[in-house]
Chains A and B, each alone.
Chain A
Amino acid sequence: MFTPHTSQEVKEMLREIGVQTIEELFAKVPEEHRFPELVLPEGLSEIEINSELNEIASANASTDDFISFLGAGAYDHYIPAAVDMLLRRGEFYTAYTPYQPEISQGTLQAIFEFQSLMAELTGMDVSNASHYDGATAAAEAVNLAYHFFRGRRKKVLLSRSVNPQYREVIRTYMQGQENVVVSGDDENFDIVSNMDAFTERIDENTSIVIVQYPDFFGRIVDYTKLIEKAHTYGALVAFVINPTALGLIKPPGAFDVDIAVGDGQPLGIPISFGGPYLGIFTTKEKYVRKLAGRLVGETVDEDGKRAYVLTLTAREQHIRREKSTSNICTNQGLMALAATIYLSLLGKHGFKQVANLCYQKAHYAAEQISKLNNYELAFPNTPFFHEFVVKTPKPVSEINLHLQNHWILGGYDLSEVYPEYENHMLIAVTEKISRDDIDDFVAALEEVGHD
């Protein structure tokens, strides 16, 4: 075991504490659990360990090996090589959230650019420097609303077509707040078929209404009336967005929503087992004092040169302590940088093109699948972006096993979290998928669809 202390220092510390040996420090641990003997294999050489780890890693499959139609919150987009190249520069790679921030002008500038891009993408006034992921950003939206009403409004309304994991995280965040009731996402209460009934639930006790756009099932839903009703009662409205979709569809800012959150993973960040991802959080200027996390601003230094600073820090917990809206002080700096590089490489035109390719390819796939016997679209009359739900003739898990033999990762099995959608597959199509890939997928679905 390596410890940086000399034996002399150890002795001094032990004497100060008043014990003789390090072992005595563990006296409170039951004896049978004290100093267990670890049965570890012999040490290996570098060559040996490399080959062993490679062997273990080769048991995994990745989207390099498979054609993937799996989305449901994480999307397999093409990532230009320059993203990783720039990201891994030592100046960025080693710099965690800066504790003496103004000395790290490069990091602050990158965050400032990220914020500007997110504000432009969503059409909102202000963006923070990011959160861990879409789920935690969504939970912070609820936090913001809770504090905006100083805890007086107890009702949080959630659409059932908000990502189920996000809804779970929101509930986890809210469990410590007194009497806050999170509802609206009951089984079978689909927002599209129950839009009026859902909107009816908004009242003067509602702090925030959270819907997804496009929703978890890929649908592009018109929330105009819901937003109007919420604002009539003074409640906030948050959209959970997919950034890629905003290359094509009307941004949340145009709907006068109060908060737009989402996962930035589609912006140049690999799927990589579910993280690290990137939480996007944007809002109206009106709420900037309640905004959690870091915020970088542009100013000039005493010589009149452009400079970047952390701004409005009095919101944050190191100053505001228990009165702050949130305990979040960190951000996903490196992932925010990845998104910034990705967007700047694609540019406005390229980004729209990616969104359009996703849309067109997904619609081609949906059309082909809907022609198959035994398969049909679950929401044939609702517009969608790059994800759609298909009713399948067999359990999705069974179909997906078959697809794997064709080196295809099938769509998401909705029955895992939506009991009402047994035999329903959520299919995502990104720009990476070719027409041939789709045709192969459709053929494989047809094959397994027969008895």
Chain B
Amino acid sequence: METPKGLKYAKTDEWVRVEGEEAVIGISDFAQDQLSDVVYVEVMVSEEDSVSKGDTLATVESVKAAADVILPISGKIIEINEELAETPEVLNTDPYKAGWIVRMTLDDPSELDELMDSDAYEAYNEEREG
């Protein structure tokens, strides 16, 4: 299971990569593994939308479940990964790069403090795996 350093992780298994004033959001390797084969990603926000932490960003459908992707931070949506409509499976194969879901502004950097770093997230996953 990959848990790249430098990213921030939410308890609901989203990752945040800060790039200057902006942030990119996706779901973790752990999350895609739990979901199994992803067949559809429905992004629930539109570009230009102002969104708040806790909003539903997307719904990810796999062959055995449908899961919400929850926004770990607040901001304005800059770009949506349109590729996911055609190739949702990149969430499985490349969750941290090609599988990004949205790029957005980072309005309140202090929200990042509530998220986990890679070590904490790995420990959290081990605990859940039991």
Contact = CB atoms under 8 A, between A and B. Distances in A.
A321 B63 CA distance: 14
21 contacts: A150-B44, A289-B40, A289-B42, A314-B39, A314-B40, A314-B61, A314-B62, A314-B65, A314-B66, A319-B61, A319-B64, A319-B65, A319-B66, A320-B59, A320-B61, A320-B66, A321-B66, A323-B59, A323-B66, A323-B68, A324-B66
A314 B61 CA distance: 6
Interface string B32-64: 000000011010100000000000000101111
Nearest to B61: A314
Contacts of B66: 314, 319-321, 323-324
A43 to B, nearest CB: 52
Given A319-B61, A319-B66, A323-B68, 18 more contacts: A150-B44, A289-B40, A289-B42, A314-B39, A314-B40, A314-B62, A314-B63, A314-B66, A315-B61, A319-B64, A319-B65, A320-B59, A320-B61, A320-B66, A321-B66, A323-B59, A323-B66, A324-B66
Contacts of A324: 66
Contacts of B63: 314
Interface residues of A, number: 9
Interface of B: 39-40, 42, 44, 59, 61-66, 68
Contacts of A150: 44
A362 B44 CA distance: 50
Contacts of A289: 40, 42
A319 B67 CA distance: 9
A314 B65 CA distance: 7
Contacts of A319: 61, 64-66
Interface string A22-37: 0000000000000000
Contacts of A323: 59, 66, 68
Nearest to B62: A314
Nearest to B64: A319
Contacts of A314: 39-40, 61-63, 65-66
What is the interface of chain B mostly: helix, strand, loop, or mixed? strand
A319 B59 CA distance: 12
Contacts of A320: 59, 61, 66
Nearest to B44: A150
Nearest to B39: A314
A320 B42 CA distance: 12
Interface in A311-350: 314-315, 319-321, 323-324
A215 B8 CA distance: 58
Enumerate the 7 nearest inter-chain pairs by beta-carbon distance, A residue then B residue, closest first: A314-B61, A320-B66, A319-B66, A314-B66, A323-B66, A323-B59, A319-B65
B62 to A, nearest CB: 7
Interface in A277-293: 289
B89 to A, nearest CB: 14
Contacts of B65: 314, 319
Contacts of B42: 289
Contacts of A321: 66
Nearest to A317: B66
Contacts of B68: 323
B91 to A, nearest CB: 14
A319 B42 CA distance: 15
A289 B42 CA distance: 9
Interface string A126-170: 000000000000000000000000100000000000000000000
From A289, A314, A320, name the one whose CB has the most chain B CB atoms within 10 angstroms. Answer: A314
Nearest to B67: A323
Contacts of A315: 61
Contacts of B59: 320, 323
Nearest to B65: A319
A289 to B, nearest CB: 6
A435 B59 CA distance: 59
Contacts of B61: 314-315, 319-320
B1 to A, nearest CB: 24
B51 to A, nearest CB: 13
A321 B59 CA distance: 12
A362 B39 CA distance: 50
B59 to A, nearest CB: 6
A320 to B, nearest CB: 4
B15 to A, nearest CB: 22
